[in-house]
Amino acid sequence: MPKLPMGRMMGYASGALGYSLLDRLMVAAVIYFYLPPAEESLPQLVPKVVFGYIFIFGRVIDSIADPLVSYWTDNSKSPRGRRVPFMFFGGLPLAACLVALFFPPVAGMSNWNAVTLALLLGSYFFFFTYYVCPYLALIPELGTTHKERINITSMQGIFMLFGVIAASVACMPLASALGFRAMALILGAASLVFLYLPVVSVNEKVYCASNPSSLDLFSSLKATFKNKPFVIYLIGNLTFWFGFNIISSGVSYYVTSLLGRPVADTAVFMGIALGVALVFIPVINFFSRFATKRNIMIILLLIFALDLPFIYLMNSQSLPISNMTFAYIVMFFAGIPLAGLFVIPNAIIADLTDYDEMNTGQRREAMYFGAQGFCLKVTLGISTYLMTLMFEKFGNSAAEPLGVQLTGPVGGVFALLGMAAFFFFPRDLEKTVADFRNRKAQAG
């Protein structure tokens, strides 16, 4: 098979901007639109408790979709390939569902709004998986060497950060200037362009050599979790995300409860971490030429584990520098492992799918990404619940900040657990799968 040209590789990687833009809009704007603060002139559209239940319903749909879509795309016999047809049919409804969320049937509190929200939110989360799972499954098919896979995931990481930054910078200013509906239409249209760039950039019949899996759904799931290196990787990566989610969810509390700053300053702190991540993605790409992905993850988790406990001291009166400067330094170093989180894990999954083929003779890339996605969603839910428990028991205000302070050490502990897990990851897995790919290429 010919190598994917750089222009087409960038076209494929740009899809990450499309879905990350939509994901950030969901987080930044949809909740705000349906449950606006009291000082805003916007009407509340559904009761808060009802919104919470509907959001849980959407996440349940999302979790169920992971193994189903993974199985469908791995076993697809479409003449256009196993992945691109899903992306072709999933991109438009994905963007349309998010935009439609800003057009509720009633301009005020209404049961019809709740029904519409449930239908659209469930559909959005389903189509998010329907697009993203096959999209990620192309990584090990388009990149057949360590260098190619790291280059692809590095490009994806950069485009993903651009999506996050674009949503963070443009969302609320556009909503304030033009209204939420116009904002949704503009950013939804922009995301649609990037969602379809991979569709026109990748011809699976030219650049992908893959055969449909013959395993049924439950056999495929069972075989996935029997892959010991995958389970070790999952433990390490999920504890990484567990700690990171606690921290990212707590940033606004660091700003207000620990530093006494307005909540608007949250953007500055997130901007520091994201900016550092953007700079360090090429750095991590460079060092991946000399170090294995396993060792890079160990180093990144060590940095995370050493940095996060310092959050506990953000409101200390005994620091040799100002509290704000201290907090900026903590967020700076948090951005380094964040860069790795965008690049290394998906490249490891690509290697693990080769390792799986060695043992089963099946190509089931999507099932591995789907299994990771399902476990990640459960992990993020548990970590958010743990954070709320800490806030409830120890406080989350300037007067009682201990719950907020503890998020740092707790996140650090989970980073240490992740680092420990990667010590059990096979040292020679990259060489093993590289040798396998070479033998496979020589065999024709």
What are the extents of the domains in the chain? 1-212, 213-444
Q: What is the mean pLDDT of the chain?
A: 89
pLDDT bin (cut points 50, 70, 90) of residue 241 is confident
Quick one: 1-212 is in which CATH superfamily?
Answer: MFS general substrate transporter like domains (1.20.1250.20)
pLDDT at site 363: 84
pLDDT at site 332: 95
What is the arithmetic mean of pLDDT over 218-244? Answer: 91
pLDDT at site 2: 76
What is the pTM for the complete model shown?
0.89
pLDDT at site 348: 94
pLDDT at site 339: 92
Please count the residues of the chain: 444
pLDDT at site 39: 56
pLDDT at site 40: 62
What is the share, in percent, of the chain residues with pLDDT greater than 70?
A: 99
- 303-307, 309-313, 359-363: lowest mean pLDDT where? 359-363
What is the share, in percent, of the chain residues with pLDDT greater than 90?
A: 53
pLDDT at site 252: 81
249-285 b/e with 16+ CB inside 10 Å = b? ebbbbbbbbbbebeeebbbebbebbbebbbebbeebb
Residue 335: alpha-carbon gap to chain centroid: 15
Distance CA 363, CA 442 (A): 18
CATH topology of domain 213-444: Growth Hormone; Chain: A; (1.20.1250)
Start-to-end CA distance of the chain, whole Å, equals 10
- 60-74, 194-208, 226-240, 428-442: lowest mean pLDDT where? 428-442
Distance CA 306, CA 317 (A): 21
- 25-29, 335-339, 373-377, 393-397: lowest mean pLDDT where? 25-29
User: How does pLDDT run across 357-393, given as a tens digit for each residue?
Assistant: 888 888 889 999 999 988 888 887 788 778 888 888 8
Answer yes or no: same fold for 1-212 and 213-444: yes
pLDDT at site 174: 86
What is the arithmetic mean of pLDDT over 390-412? Answer: 90
pLDDT at site 250: 82
How many Cα atoms within 13 Å fall on the side-chain side of residue 99?
17
pLDDT at site 444: 59
What is the arithmetic mean of pLDDT over 334-345? Answer: 92
